[in-house]
Structure 1
Amino acid sequence: MISLFLAGTLIAQATSDVTTTQQPASPAAAETKTSNPVTKPPQQVETIVVTARPPTRESRIDRVVYDVRTMPDAPATAAVDAIGLLPGVFVGANNRITMVGGAFVTVLVDGKSMPRAAALQIPANQIARIEVMSNPPAEFASSAQAVINIITKKAQEDDKLGGSLAGSIDTIDNQAITFSFNRGMKPWSFNGFLRVANEDEAFWSRSEGVSGTGANREQESGIGTGQLTATNVNVSLRAVRKLSNTNSLSLSSSYFTGEFAYEQDSIETRILADSRSVFPIFGRSWSPASLQYHSVGFNSEKEDKYKFDVDLTFSNNLNKSSYQSQRGAQWFSNRERKQERTLEFETSFEKTFSAGRVLSLGTSYKNEDFEFAFSDIGYVGPSIIQANLFKARQRDQAAYASFQFKLGKFGFQPGLRVEDTEIDWTDGAGLLSGTTSYQRVLPSLFITRNLGGVGTLKASYSQGTTPGSLAELSPFRRAFGVDYATEGNPKLEPADRQTFELTHEVEKHGVSLVTTAFYRDTKNELTFGSRLIENNVVLATSVNLSRSEATGVGSTLKGKLGKKLTYNFSWEVSEISFSDPRAATGQSRVEEIQSNGKASIDYKPTPKDQFVFSTTFKSDEYSLGSIEEGVWTNSIQYTRRLPKKVSLVVTVTNIGVETDRRIRSFGPDFSSESRSSNPSRALKVALSKTF
């Protein structure tokens, strides 16, 4: 049973990563949904990161900006690899990104939403800078706990052709190739890229558990091996037409396709009373996805005076998946089809006055149509087919205003965001339907204080609200095997939160230290609650919790030893307290301790040679429900600049360690413990040519 839990949830998570643009409402929600064998797959090996020295940092009142163009070339790497280099930002299994306080991060591209899988696969050499906001200002949708905004490079205006070609391969059968170009043809300019990546990863798992009560109480154990294969293709083209010295028109299109395949073979042993049964188990899945993303924009800008933008974007995200599993004589098959069509219109205006005063105004309208069809055979009973169709539409309207100014050594940025949301849903037959609407007025305030020789102090406060994703509102039960199912909840209420953050920054003698403290209070927390239903099936249901609280502290230290060696250390520890997701009554509390750390040492003996030594650590521990033990990773990278604008990068990963995860989980009438591991020691070679 446990092996099927792992198989089913792996398909659910891999599929949702491609198809959904909304993220879990909170760290409690994000972790709870993936904190036990019922809801968390074996850890995938992350793409081997081609590391480099941390990029240049610029601290603003409401964000930190990193100019990644200052980094050495990183051949064949993607946006997720560049994000992993940022101090205080941690990339975990399945490319889950967190910051101090356990905040779940929303990733934007040029300020616009894009499906996460596509955004993270943008080539790193197409990025100009990355904006990091652990407490986002009023201009961003309040559903985001934290924001990483990827700003891509502008096309060159000179009448010439430029670009790069890069490729990489490693010893665990992962490959990637990237081609990018830019071309100026006044008054037009063009740039684009093509990236193809393939991952082929093996894993093994071992699990033990108990389910049921009384005469139905069973002891279970299982051991299995599996293979994960993913192929992604990302293509993008942008054209900019210069209309005048201040005005321009931009057109862009992006296409993303991904195919995810999974296979698992295992043996499960079940003991009921004095009987012992052994079942061979297999699971197979296949999930192709496609995305189209188109944008038209108008920009009018006069440096140090004003900036006005109008953007219209359209996206069509289609995902199909199929899954089959068999345990002994029991057989199960599932097919799903998800489609999201989004139309978004945004305007923004920024006016700069004297003495550093800045007024920002903006409006947005977003319409999202969601359709979800699925059928399964074998869950309700042998050869019985269950099929359903769910349709939903969400309309969001918002307006914001903020004003930045200075008073002596203090800087202020008060902001206000007003949001109106309406959600309609129905089943395919029109027998079930519902409407939810709510309005929010959300203030924010950012303050800085220059402390002179002892640095700068930054404080911020904001309010936000996050609805459940449209998929979570579906009232239908979806099965991912004969022993595991999920069920949405059309009665979900939006989660409302308040966030406080305090940061101290100081730099002396070439050494910088940044320390951040964080507190977040969330009402109507969104998460999954798991329980055992008939036939020993574990059912995960979307629920609202009464409240969650998150507190955290983190720090980043960066400096130099001589002219050739640079070091960078980051760590964070957070405590998250929330209602027991299995009881969902508000009477029981779960305490989670989350800790992350990473360190890198950059040694450059000559202008053409560079060594980078890096290591990361992640640990999550729950006082009730589950424990995830710590995971270590490390790498050594050597970069050599060759003649004719060619770079060679050789990386060795996870020397002396393996990517290993152990999880214990408990719920009403069931408990389990699982362990999974991936072969992750590898040698990677990458080459790039710039022209």
Structure 2
Amino acid sequence: MTNRIEISSIIRKRTLALTFVLGAASLAFAQQKVNVTGKIVNKQNNAVPYASVTFSNKANKLFSDATLTDDKGAYQLPLTPGNYDITVEAIDFKKTTLNKQISEAANLGNFTIEAESSVTGTKTSDIQGVVITGQAVKAYRVEIDKKVYDPSLDIVAKGGNLQDVLANVPSVDVDTDGTVSMRGNTNVKFLINGKPSSMLGIDDGANALQSIPADQIERIEVITNPSSKYEASGTAGILNIILKKSKKVGFNGSVEGTLGYLPTTRLNTNLSWKKGSLTYYINGGGGYNRSNSTNNSEFNSFLNPQNLTDGFSMKSIQDGTNKSENQNYNVTTGILLDVTDKSTLNASVMFRNFNNQSTGETNYFDNVIVKDRTAAGYPNVPFTLKDQFTNRLNEGTNKNNSFQADLGFDQKIGDKGQLLSLATSYQNSKSDGNSVTTENGFDNLLDVPTLTLNNILTQSDNTKILGKGDYELPIGEASKFEAGVRFDGNENRYNYYVDESKNNGPASILPDFTSDTSYKENVLAGYAQFKSKIKSFGYQLGLRAENTDISVNFKKMNDATQTSVDKNYLKFFPSVFLSYDLNKNNQLLLNYSRRINRPRSFFLIPFMSYNNNRNLFSGNPDLNPTYENSFELGYNLTKSKVTFNPTLYYKKSEDEVNFYQYSGLNGDGNTVIYTMPVNAGSETQYGLDINATYDPFKWWKIMGSADLYGYKNEGSFNLFPNNPLTDRDFSGNGFSTRLRLTNTFKPTKTTSFQIQGFYRGAENTVSNQRKPMYAVNLGASQTIWKGNGTIAFNIQDIFNTRARENTVTNSSYSQYSYQQWQPRQMSISLSYRFKQGDKVEQQKRKKDINSNSSGDDEQGPPM
């Protein structure tokens, strides 16, 4: 027997709440909400679980919202004060409507609803197979201090990882080597669930991004101009990755498997179980993939060869490839416990393992100077040029293990909305690397061919301790005061060892590349901010203070002296956010914040990696932080089919970090490019960042973004003041673009196609010229198994064009480089979603209003 349950009104109201309340209302500094609680009972005063309770604001539909009662018939919901029509609907009960004036936080008591009479006398608890679906939220929405991206609607990234998802996020750019930038700035601060996380390892870069499956990501918060509540580091802004934590009743979850080329395999699962006040969840999985990168470069010297020593390369061409095999496993498990009606405890642990095996090969074609060293007046003697070939093979392994434990407690105080939140986190990440390089080359100093063997051992151990407390105090109906303290402790240990043997002789340690480093950084911070709204005008004022204490101890082997760096500074970071409601669908935003870019630990340590002995990077102990003042003026239009969010921005930095490069000779007399970060002048960025969505038809959705930006760099640096040829000018200005367009087509209720294109324009300064780049991706998905399964297929970089081309030119040389991190890839994934397995609970499951038309669990944020 099948009965049709009409709940279209609930779905429409829920969709309205998700689309407008989370988008326009939060952006416009909507009035301060109050917490409303109550209970739904029958005539026998027994609880009615899983009833739908809808609050419709009679003055402004934007303030409407809906919720479900728990298994004890209770509900709670934050609402804007006003007059509401309350509608209660539940299976086997009549629809009930009443009116309430809500002015402050309160318990509305028990609402009694009447049982529905049945013609057959059979209750609907016997019905099976009823599926209720609703329209999903938009993939992109704007809130007052951030932009939120929902990857569940991203077909191109299905079966992928965090790096694939970030490539489609508005205002975010992922380079060919996995480097993430926001509006062209790579100083991005990554957070996992609102805090730093060892899931991203120690300086793992793209490897860490690839180890977090897309299926485990609930949403990504893009915070381009953070308020004082957020930590001040990250001049580009903050990317907050929110992982899934289901709060659905009963046993729920999903499993997803992926197969792809170059080959890729991945299996992930998200499981949760909720009963009463306890929710337990576990997310985990693992994968294997291969990567194949290409690196080519050409070096040309502008120096007078008559004055150069024997062996210097007038021209050098490098062709390199790197193939790697990666295995990663991760598991996160935790609980959410409602200790009382006003207090909640959450605890979780995370384990992550990442293993990498790589083989890299580089061929060098050098055109070197040959002179008679015995001639009088050397090196100013006649010369000839000789072609020379060198082959370098590098084979290595790297293992990383990470652990993280988090504990949090939230306590509501009184009935006026006060909230105290406490959180602590312990994180540890260890990496061990071992590689062997074999080089068949030529010793220009001895004028003989050589066979060189190097063993390179690396160890790193990173420990982080985080503790923070936040307090919220509502003041009246439209104001709130927030304050908090935070401590971040970070300790890194690095051990680097290199030995070398020539022509099968005994190995000897290279003291310049063998070192032991200790890095400690402690940041103590406190903030306070106040926000309010006067009619259509909203404002938020904040101030954050951060005291930074850094200690670095670095020692090379056989070096009698130890390099010590001690830095301690107290800085203040104000923020101002202003908003004005033009009408219910149009808002203006103006904001300002001051940010800091603290040098990474590697940038302060003066040691050099030996993986590529022709390109050596060294840290700079004298490096200072970069400070930035950031301004934004934004507009937001939100309607049923259109969202439009243009933002004008202006950023000015002080003590900008630039990469100083110069050429020299290594121990074999081969030309080497040395790179070191330095503080050199200032940088100005300004532009128009446009993000928009348009749904012309139910079967066609468009999402586009464009960043039209200008830049101006000022500054110069010379590591060797007495040599004008080593003076480097970082000045320059120009204009460039970044464009992204995504079209999603849904020809049937169960089939979707998506095509996504990306373009990054050329960018030039006095010494650096970067060529434009574009890429096109394609995805398709089909819902199967009555909405419980999805099969998806995607191709990344269809035309194999995603590569970086760059030319550096200065007074002494030019260097062209080409890099493709990963060629064209394709994959197919299969996912299955299951909800509470007990058939007695099926009707409760059917009231889940968070599922969309394709069966995907949106896992959206609470209203």
- For this structure pair, what is the TM-score category when the shorter chain's length is used for normalisation? 0.7 to 0.9
TM-aligned CA distance change 1:509 to 1:163, over 3 Å: closer
* Cα separation, 2, equivalents of 1:583 and 1:304: 61
Using the TM superposition, name which of 424-433 and 257-266 deviates more. 424-433
Identity %: 18
Partner of 2:571: 440
Per-residue deviation at 1:238? 1.1
TM-aligned CA distance change 1:379 to 1:602, over 3 Å: farther
User: Is 1:571 matched with 2:735?
Assistant: no
Partner of 2:596: 465
User: Which residues in structure 2 correspond to 1:62-461 (within 5 Å)?
Assistant: 62-66=145-149, 75-100=158-183, 102=185, 104-115=187-198, 116=200, 118=208, 121-145=211-235, 146-156=237-247, 158=249, 160-211=250-301, 213-214=304-305, 215=308, 216-272=312-368, 273-301=384-412, 305-325=417-437, 326-328=439-441, 329=450, 330-378=452-500, 383-386=508-511, 387-427=514-554, 431-452=562-583, 455-461=586-592
Partner of 2:662: 531
TM-aligned CA distance change 1:670 to 1:165, over 3 Å: same
**What amino acid sits opposite 2:176 in the alignment?**
A
Deviations 1:265-312, CA, capped at 9 Å, x for gaps: 243221123322122222223222121111111112479713221111
TM-aligned CA distance change 1:527 to 1:338, over 3 Å: farther
Partner of 1:19: none
Per-residue deviation at 1:73? 11
Q: Is the 8 A contact 2:233 2:598 kept in 1?
A: yes
* Cα separation, 1, equivalents of 2:367 and 2:282: 59
* Cα separation, 2, equivalents of 1:434 and 1:614: 47
Deviations 1:16-47, CA, capped at 9 Å, x for gaps: xxxxxxxxxxxxxxxxxxxxxxxxxxxxxxxx
User: Is 1:649 matched with 2:792?
Assistant: yes
Looking at secondary structure, tell me which structure has more strand per residue: 1
Partner of 1:29: none
Using the TM superposition, name which of 675-684 and 289-298 deviates more. 675-684
* Cα separation, 2, equivalents of 1:225 and 1:118: 21
- Secondary structure of the corresponding residue to residue 177 of structure 2: helix
* Cα separation, 2, equivalents of 1:458 and 1:103: 25
TM-aligned CA distance change 1:267 to 1:100, over 3 Å: closer
* Cα separation, 2, equivalents of 1:55 and 1:123: 21
Partner of 1:26: none
Structure 1, unaligned runs of 5 or more: 1-51
TM-aligned CA distance change 1:338 to 1:55, over 3 Å: farther
TM-aligned CA distance change 1:251 to 1:53, over 3 Å: closer
User: Which one has the largest radius of gyration?
Assistant: 2
* Cα separation, 2, equivalents of 1:121 and 1:265: 25
- Secondary structure of the corresponding residue to residue 139 of structure 1: coil
Q: Is the 8 A contact 2:176 2:822 kept in 1?
A: no
* Cα separation, 2, equivalents of 1:614 and 1:514: 20
Per-residue deviation at 1:314? 0.7
TM-aligned CA distance change 1:414 to 1:367, over 3 Å: same
RMSD: 2.9
- Secondary structure of the corresponding residue to residue 137 of structure 1: coil
Using the TM superposition, name which of 213-222 and 497-506 deviates more. 213-222
* Cα separation, 2, equivalents of 1:301 and 1:125: 33
**What amino acid sits opposite 1:154 in the alignment?**
K
* Cα separation, 1, equivalents of 2:278 and 2:209: 25
**What amino acid sits opposite 1:94 in the alignment?**
D
TM-score (norm. length: structure 1): 0.85
Deviations 1:613-654, CA, capped at 9 Å, x for gaps: 111122342233333322222122221110151111122333
User: Is 1:543 matched with 2:639?
Assistant: no
* Cα separation, 1, equivalents of 2:616 and 2:158: 42
User: Is 1:688 matched with 2:831?
Assistant: yes
Partner of 2:847: none
User: Which residues in structure 2 correspond to 1:597-636 (within 5 Å)?
Assistant: 597-636=739-778
Higher relative contact order (CA 8 A, sep 6+): 1
User: Which residues in structure 2 correspond to 1:464-613 (within 5 Å)?
Assistant: 464-507=595-638, 510-535=641-666, 536-579=671-714, 583=718, 588-591=730-733, 593-613=735-755
Q: Is the 8 A contact 1:223 1:267 kept in 2?
A: yes
Partner of 1:9: none
TM-aligned CA distance change 1:76 to 1:581, over 3 Å: farther
Per-residue deviation at 1:70? 6.8
Q: Is the 8 A contact 1:101 1:518 kept in 2?
A: no
Per-residue deviation at 1:504? 1.5
Deviations 1:457-508, CA, capped at 9 Å, x for gaps: 1111111222212232223344333323222222222211111111122245
Deviations 1:668-689, CA, capped at 9 Å, x for gaps: 5332213344663343211001
Per-residue deviation at 1:336? 1.6
Q: Is the 8 A contact 2:176 2:804 kept in 1?
A: no
* Cα separation, 2, equivalents of 1:595 and 1:587: 24
- Secondary structure of the corresponding residue to residue 262 of structure 2: coil
Partner of 2:803: 660
TM-score (norm. length: structure 2): 0.69
Using the TM superposition, name which of 259-268 and 129-138 deviates more. 259-268
Per-residue deviation at 1:416? 0.3
- Secondary structure of the corresponding residue to residue 603 of structure 2: helix
* Cα separation, 2, equivalents of 1:282 and 1:581: 37
Q: Is the 8 A contact 1:531 1:668 kept in 2?
A: no
Per-residue deviation at 1:510? 2.3
Q: Is the 8 A contact 1:416 1:441 kept in 2?
A: yes
Per-residue deviation at 1:525? 1.6
* Cα separation, 2, equivalents of 1:517 and 1:418: 27
TM-aligned CA distance change 1:516 to 1:359, over 3 Å: same
* Cα separation, 2, equivalents of 1:73 and 1:277: 46
Per-residue deviation at 1:395? 1.2
Deviations 1:85-115, CA, capped at 9 Å, x for gaps: 4333333323333333636422212211114
Q: Is the 8 A contact 1:582 1:668 kept in 2?
A: no
* Cα separation, 2, equivalents of 1:250 and 1:64: 26
TM-aligned CA distance change 1:311 to 1:167, over 3 Å: same
- Secondary structure of the corresponding residue to residue 94 of structure 1: coil
TM-aligned CA distance change 1:203 to 1:579, over 3 Å: same
Deviations 1:490-545, CA, capped at 9 Å, x for gaps: 22222111111111222457222211111111111223312123433222122112
* Cα separation, 1, equivalents of 2:430 and 2:484: 30
* Cα separation, 2, equivalents of 1:534 and 1:466: 33
**What amino acid sits opposite 2:687 in the alignment?**
G
TM-aligned CA distance change 1:477 to 1:92, over 3 Å: closer
Partner of 1:43: none
Structure 2, unaligned runs of 5 or more: 1-134, 201-206, 369-383, 442-449, 720-726, 835-863
Q: Is the 8 A contact 2:641 2:696 kept in 1?
A: no
TM-aligned CA distance change 1:418 to 1:232, over 3 Å: same
TM-aligned CA distance change 1:307 to 1:109, over 3 Å: farther
Q: Is the 8 A contact 2:321 2:360 kept in 1?
A: yes
